């Protein structure tokens, strides 16, 4: 269905605005993704928005028209509104010309098929949504199966995380679990749990022996991993720290480690022939 919204106080505008808030996203089980590129990535991976919101007087684009057609065919809504109202919804002065409202999907561990990929990324209590989105993006790049969020992480469906994921929110599996749920699930099958760690006994990340499916675990930005989690890992690896700092950004640590795992587990694609 197509419709037009002209008033700031329209209930749909209020609903959309509310989705910038984590509690409201959880309540409605909906999230926003902004921009034609992101929405096209989603469409290419079979994720269509339930609602497409566009500014009047936007530039027409064949990809946008294709998206509109698909949303309408799937029974969704295509809404036109003013640039001002769209800015109010997205909270940005310079709103992208199109925003989609998606239903969140189930994110239980039961949805994951660990055999589907050699690498999985695991984040524990990561608080920065940009880091989560970047981990999703890196996961896509290394051919990971998905991202598992332990404990109290930032919301992967928040606008900042979705944006930083550059579309990977639509391609990577996502599971949210407590540590107990995760460790119980992990030990029901194959899986090597590798912590990026500064703990005593950590070995250099290069030359360590990784095994698929390899679960690459990084901890909270300030506190790192709890000791109990560290001791449950199969291996602890560390990156060289040549300067005065003692740690890397969490998303950077995950990426450096994941690319090393990739090089070992899929050397044909990662290493230059010589």
DSSP string, 181-197: HHHHHHTTS--EEEEE-
Q: 234: buried, middle or exposed (CB in 10 Å: 19+, 13-18, 0-12)?
A: middle
Q: Does 199 bind a second copy (CB under 8 A)?
A: no
**Residue selected from 23, 62, 75, 244 as contacting a second copy according to rule CB under 8 A:** 244
Q: Which is nearer to a second copy, 62 or 273 (CB)?
A: 273
| 3-state secondary structure (DSSP) of residue 90 | helix
Number of residues this chain uses to bind a second copy (CB under 8 A): 48
State the Cα–Cα distance between residues 191 and 235, nearest whole angstrom: 12
N- to C-terminal Cα separation, the chain: 57
Nearer Cβ to a second copy, position 76 or 145?
Answer: 145
**Binder to a second copy among 87, 130, 151, 226 (CB under 8 A)?**
130
Cα separation, 23 vs 259, whole angstroms: 35
Q: Which is nearer to a second copy, 183 or 249 (CB)?
A: 249
Least CB distance from residue 39 to a second copy, whole Å? 14
Binders of a second copy among 2-31, rule CB under 8 A?
none
Does 166 interact with a second copy (rule: CB under 8 A)? yes
Q: Assess 239 for contact with a second copy (CB under 8 A).
A: yes
- In angstroms, what is the minimal distance from the CB of 199 to a second copy? 16
Tell me if 262 contacts a second copy by CB under 8 A: yes
Rg over alpha carbons for the chain, rounded to the nearest Å, is: 21
- Check residue 73 for interaction with a second copy (CB under 8 A): no
Is 52 among the residues that bind a second copy (CB under 8 A)? no
Is 94 an interacting residue with respect to a second copy (CB under 8 A)? no
For residue 167, state whether it binds a second copy (rule: CB under 8 A): yes
Evaluate whether 113 touches 213 at the Cβ level (below 8 Å): no
Widest pairwise Cα distance in the chain: 64
CA dist., res. 262 & res. 255, Å (int): 10
Evaluate whether 245 touches 218 at the Cβ level (below 8 Å). no
Query: Is residue 252 at the binding interface for a second copy, with CB under 8 A as the rule?
Result: yes
The correct pick among 15, 72, 141, 198 for binding a second copy (CB under 8 A) is: 141
Any residues with CB less than 8 A from the CB of 189 and at least 6 apart, and which?
114
User: Which residues contact a second copy by CB under 8 A?
Assistant: 41, 44-45, 130, 134, 137-143, 164, 166-168, 171-172, 203-208, 239-245, 247-249, 251-252, 255-256, 259, 262-263, 266, 269-274
């Amino acid at each position: 269905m197509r419709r037009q919204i002209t008033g700031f106080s329209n209930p749909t505008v209020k609903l959309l605005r509310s989705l910038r808030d984590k509690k409201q996203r959880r309540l409605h089980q909906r999230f926003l993704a902004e921009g034609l590129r992101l929405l096209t990535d989603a469409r290419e991976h079979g994720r269509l928005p339930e609602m497409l919101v566009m500014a009047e007087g936007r530039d027409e684009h064949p990809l946008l028209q294709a998206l509109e057609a698909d949303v309408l065919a799937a029974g969704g809504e295509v809404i036109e509104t003013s640039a001002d109202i769209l800015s109010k919804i997205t909270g940005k002065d310079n709103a992208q010309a199109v925003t989609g409202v998606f239903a969140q999907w189930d994110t239980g561990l039961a949805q994951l098929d660990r055999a589907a990929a050699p690498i999985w990324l695991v984040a524990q209590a990561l608080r920065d949504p940009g880091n989560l989105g970047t981990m999703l993006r890196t996961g896509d790049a290394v051919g990971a199966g998905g991202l598992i969020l332990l404990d109290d992480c930032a919301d992967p469906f928040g606008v900042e995380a979705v944006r930083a994921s550059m579309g990977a929110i639509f391609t990577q599996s996502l599971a949210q679990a407590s540590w107990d749920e995760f460790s119980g699930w992990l030990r029901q099958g194959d899986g090597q749990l590798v912590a990026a760690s500064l703990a005593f006994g950590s070995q250099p990340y290069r030359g360590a022996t990784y095994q698929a499916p390899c679960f690459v675990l990084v901890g909270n930005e300030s506190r790192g991993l709890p000791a109990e989690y560290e001791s449950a890992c199969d291996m602890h690896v560390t990156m060289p720290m040549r300067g005065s700092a003692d740690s890397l950004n969490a998303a950077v640590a995950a990426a450096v480690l994941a690319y090393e795992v990739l090089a070992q587990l899929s050397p044909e694609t990662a290493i230059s022939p010589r």
